Amino acid sequence: MPEFVSLQDVSLRYDVSESTLALSGATMSIKRGQFAAVVGPSGCGKSSLMKLVTGLKRATGGTVSVAGKRVNGPLKIVGMAFQNPTLLPWRRLLSNLMLPLEIVQPHRGRLRTHRGEYIEKARDLLRTVGLEEFEDRYPWMLSGGMQQRANLCRSLIHEPELLMLDEPFGALDAFTREELWDVLQSIWMTRKFTTVLVTHDLREAAYLADVIFVMSARPGRVIATHQVDLPRPRNIETTFDPHFIDMVHKIRNEIAQVRSEGRAATARTLKAV
Amino acid sequence: MTSVNRRRLEIAIPWIVIGTLLLTWQTVVVAFGIKPFVLPSPTVIFAAFVENRGPIMQHALFTLTSTMSGFSLGVAFGMTLGVIIGSSRLVYVGLYPVLIGFNSIPKVAIVPLLVLWLGIGQPTAIATAFLLSFFPIAVNVATGLATVEPELEDVLLSLGATKADLLFKVGLPRAMPYFFASLKVSITLAFIGAVIAETIASNDGIGYLMLQASSQFRIPLMFAGVFVIAFMGIVTYLIFAFIERRMTGWATRGRDIQVASGG
């Protein structure tokens, strides 16, 4: 499988005046169709990574490339979903789902003439996440978990080659979260789009991903890569598998270590000041 | 209390308050024998209104025309300005101090200038109404645009959205509740502007009528003018409040609608 997303020695500084880097020497590569997870202590630049890969931010150093091309501006083949579902409150669910189609070419040009076809597609997607009865509801009538399902649908409606998820299930209760892991896994298994999931839930990462990148504290860089070889489809029983538990445990320790190093570094800087 | 009774009470209570206020007023004036040229009673004011209803209506119509013309200009200009300020950080930073400065000037101070430029009469009233009414609209539209969730912008930008896409698909619909809320404020300000201009430089309008009544010590007629302005203010406010509810019901999240449960 060829490499789809690749970061070579990437660094990012948000502000010229700012001395600290958000990312420094981050290197990773993700194959086409792979499900990758990025975990790390808070403030390690996981979200910066999202912005770099999608081209919303330019790297200060190093190269970011997607699908063999260097990223120079916002990509147009990406679906994104965040912790905040950001559905438009003035649109009904179905119409919310159609939003990307009104923007992305070639759908944008075809939407008016092939409306019925697109609506069917949106309905199919709603069905896969169990929201088919709610297409006429407004987002604020739905629970957080349902909104997040819809958000996921919206990020997939234009069949992106790359799906970027930034803590999409972070605000949900544990049971709803596990339910949505399943939903996401089954959509991914049928469609096989390349996925990058940023999360600080290690169980979530191990449950969903083929490969997990562990990042250090700021300035973020990749300190470990884990291949997850557990068979699919994974289910809740998988999370009690000793192999699964070992992996989560190991990553947990790696993060604990970078966290303590990060704290020591901060303390040193404070003393120096 | 049942919810039906409660709703009935909510509809009735503004009228009860107004009624009680007028009744107290009447009682106080009669009980203490207050002279009509100090404080006329509501019945005397009403009599003055009925007696002069022809000229009052004529002047009221004039004021209403000035107000609405100035307000329409204010909506168009305020909306445009709001979109410009709200969509560019640089313009926002550049224009904000100027706008704040402009808004701090009491508009009464500008009316003589307007008279110099536009003469005595309706154009000055329209201009004053306009100057008072555009500011809240501009600020509100700008606020609505500026508070679009950054995540949503990222989602759309990563789909290849242009600035115009962001504005029309997200920014403007999102700013609509702010816009309609500002209309309610602006329409009352437009009335104030028109009446101020009429009291300073006009031969028509409720403001002029009141000034004339005052110089002739016809205090009940002055009060009748005040009531007519208040009445027009309330009616236009209600019209815009109604439009607001119709257009942006989603923003108030229809509280009686059942929330669907489940994951």
pLDDT values of chain B reduced to their tens digit, one per residue, 263 residues? 677 888 888 889 989 999 999 999 999 999 999 998 889 999 999 999 999 999 999 999 999 999 999 999 999 999 999 999 988 888 888 988 898 898 899 888 899 999 999 999 899 999 999 999 999 999 999 988 988 888 888 888 888 888 889 999 999 998 998 999 899 899 999 999 999 999 998 899 999 999 999 999 999 999 999 999 999 989 998 898 888 888 887 777 654 443 433 33
Q: Do the chains contact at A88 and B154, CB–CB below 8 Å?
A: no
Pair A180, A148: CB distance under 8 Å: yes
Say what the alpha-carbon torsion angle B218, B219, B225, B226 is, to the nearest 10 degrees: 170
Q: Walk along chain A (273 residues) in steps of 10 and give the mean pLDDT of each run.
A: 82 73 85 92 79 87 87 84 89 92 85 88 88 90 90 90 91 87 91 91 93 86 89 89 92 86 74 66
Q: Which domain holds residue A40?
A: 1-71+195-273
All residues of chain B having their beta carbon less than 8 Å from the beta carbon of residue A54 are 154, 158
Number of domains, chain A: 1
Q: Is residue A30 part of a domain?
A: yes
This complex has an ipTM of 0.80
Residue B44 structure tokens: 């005397």
Residue A11 structure tokens: 């660094």
Q: Is residue A57 part of a domain?
A: yes
If contacts are CB pairs under 8 Å, which of residues 149-168 in chain B contact chain A? 149, 151-152, 154-161, 165
Nearest-CA distance from B73 to chain A in Å? 28
Q: Do the chains contact at B160 and A81, CB–CB below 8 Å?
A: no
Give the Cα separation of A212 and A205 in Å (integer): 7
Q: Do the chains contact at A143 and B260, CB–CB below 8 Å?
A: yes
Domains of chain B with bracketed CATH = 62-248 (1.10.3720.10)
Residue A201 structure tokens: 């839930």
Q: What is the pLDDT of residues A65-121, one digit of tens each?
A: 888 888 888 887 789 998 888 899 999 999 999 999 998 888 888 888 888 889 998
CATH number at residue A208: 3.40.50.300
* Angle subtended by helix axes A115-128 and A144-156, to nearest 10: 130
Q: Is residue A63 part of a domain?
A: yes
Give the Cα separation of B120 and B125 in Å (integer): 9
All residues of chain A having their beta carbon less than 8 Å from the beta carbon of residue B149 are 84, 86
Q: Do the chains contact at A54 and B151, CB–CB below 8 Å?
A: no
Q: Is residue A254 part of a domain?
A: yes
3-state secondary structure of A248: helix
Q: Is residue A223 part of a domain?
A: yes
Contact of A197 with chain B, judged by CB distance below 8 Å, is answered with: no
Q: Is residue A37 part of a domain?
A: yes
